Structure 1
Amino acid sequence: MEDLVLILNIAVVVSISIGGFLVRNYFPKYVSEKAKNLATKEDIGQITDQVESIKRQHAVELEKIKTELDVKGALRQSFQSKSLDALTAIDELLVEIHLYSWKQLAERSPNEHYVWSNVDTLADNRHFHYYRVAIDKVKMVHGLYLTSAAKKALSDLSQSIGMLSSMELALSNDPDEAILKSAVPGYSSAIESVEKCRKRLMHELGVQS
């Protein structure tokens, strides 16, 4: 009986020793690994949340950039349309001044009458003073869509036409022979000024002839 008790005591001591050894050597490692696994899962969750947050921010930024590009594209398209309107209005005015000057030459040169009869569609109340104001107006109305050089070309034409308006005023007030003789060169110079302005505008605005 005593031997059995002794054996049991020894078995208990051995079990406690083995249990203590396992607790000292393996349980901390198990707990550590378990903690690592939990930490890894938490890290993965945090990283996933950060990635999703960055994706959302990136999507917002992309949408913002897309909106800005759409607005800029619309503005650019509108500007180009307005620029085309400006060019059309200016070209129509230059053509009218050219035809007006040509008409005045035709009335003073028999060689031009057969040509003018095919294109005489201008209003009778137009004259250089009117056209000078028209040039200044078209520059003001469409100035936002013109370069500085283009506006300078129109200003120079306005000045030239303005000087010729004084000649027309003299022609309408019982002119002498000298004034009458100045008419043909005057209207010819108007045509030259219009063509010079047209070439400057085409060069400045990149319009091909």
Structure 2
Amino acid sequence: MIDVLLIVNIIALVGLAVLTLLAKSFLPSYVSEKAKNLASKEDIASITEQIEGIKNSHAIEIEKIKAELDIKSALRQSFQAKSLDSLTAIDELLVEINLYSWKQLAEFSPNEHYVWRNVDTLEEGRNFHYYRVAIDKVKMVHGLYLTSNAKNALSELAESIGLLSSMELALSNDPDQAILNSVERGYSSAINEINKCRHNLMAELGVKS
């Protein structure tokens, strides 16, 4: 009986020693591997978080750029619409001056068709002096939406009309034959200058005349 207990004790001691050896050799490597795995997971989580942060940052920047482009596009479209409105208003004035010039030309030139004398859409009392001021006014009112070249075209027309207003003033004061001889050429010149101005204005806005 004593021998059996002794053997059991010896076996227990041997088993304990084996377990101790296994623990010393296996547990440190196991714990170390676990620590590595844990560290790897933490690293992956950190990298993933950084990547997502970059993606979100880029997405915000892209949306910001899109919003800015949308605003610029809307402003550009609004400006173009205003420019076209300005062109329409200015062109209405130029058409009126053109009709006036043709009507006056018909009065002094036997070569022009009598129909021009019957143009009745013009306001009474208007002349080149009035239209000289009207051109300056329309340029000032719509100047914000006109290019420098467009403004120059209007200024050149205003200067030409201003010179012709002197001719009309002379006509109203018992003109001599030299003045009368220059009338037809004067009104023809006005028509040409108006057409030139309209062409330049439309070219500046990309509109074919």
- Give the TM-score range, shorter chain: 0.7 to 0.9
Query: For residue 82 of structure 1, what is the aligned residue in structure 2?
Result: 82
How much has 1:96 moved relative to structure 2? 1.1
CA contact (8 A) 1:103 1:120 kept: no
Q: How many residues align?
A: 209
Query: For residue 120 of structure 2, what is the aligned residue in structure 1?
Result: 120
Deviates more, 1:17-26 or 1:186-195: 17-26
How much has 1:19 moved relative to structure 2? 2.0
Take 1:82 and 1:46, find their aligned partners in 2: how far apart are those partners? 54
How much has 1:39 moved relative to structure 2? 2.2
Query: For residue 101 of structure 1, what is the aligned residue in structure 2?
Result: 101
Take 1:152 and 1:66, find their aligned partners in 2: how far apart are those partners? 37
Take 1:131 and 1:36, find their aligned partners in 2: how far apart are those partners? 90
Deviations along 1:172-207, whole A, 9 cap, x unmatched? 122222222221111111111111222222333322
CA contact (8 A) 2:106 2:117 kept: no
Take 1:15 and 1:127, find their aligned partners in 2: how far apart are those partners? 126
User: What secondary structure does 1:207 align onto?
Assistant: coil
Query: 1:6-155 to 2 correspondence within 5 Å?
Result: 6-112=6-112, 114-155=114-155
Deviations along 1:51-71, whole A, 9 cap, x unmatched? 443343334323322321221
CA contact (8 A) 2:94 2:194 kept: yes
How much has 1:5 moved relative to structure 2? 5.7
**Identical-pair percentage:** 71
Amino acid in the other structure paired with 2:145 = Y
Query: For residue 158 of structure 2, what is the aligned residue in structure 1?
Result: 158
Q: Tell me, which stretches of 5 or more residues in structure 2 are unaligned?
A: none
Take 2:59 and 2:201, find their aligned partners in 1: how far apart are those partners? 45
Amino acid in the other structure paired with 2:28 = P
CA contact (8 A) 1:107 1:113 kept: no
TM-score after normalising by structure 2:
0.87
Q: Tell me, which stretches of 5 or more residues in structure 1 are unaligned?
A: none
The 1:127/1:117 distance shift into structure 2, 3 A limit, reads closer
Take 1:45 and 1:108, find their aligned partners in 2: how far apart are those partners? 93
RMSD: 2.3
Take 2:8 and 2:23, find their aligned partners in 1: how far apart are those partners? 22
CA contact (8 A) 1:149 1:204 kept: yes
Amino acid in the other structure paired with 2:68 = E
Deviates more, 1:116-125 or 1:54-63: 54-63
User: What secondary structure does 1:26 align onto?
Assistant: helix
CA contact (8 A) 1:139 1:151 kept: yes
User: What secondary structure does 2:112 align onto?
Assistant: helix
Take 2:200 and 2:84, find their aligned partners in 1: how far apart are those partners? 17
Deviations along 1:144-167, whole A, 9 cap, x unmatched? 222222221111111111111111
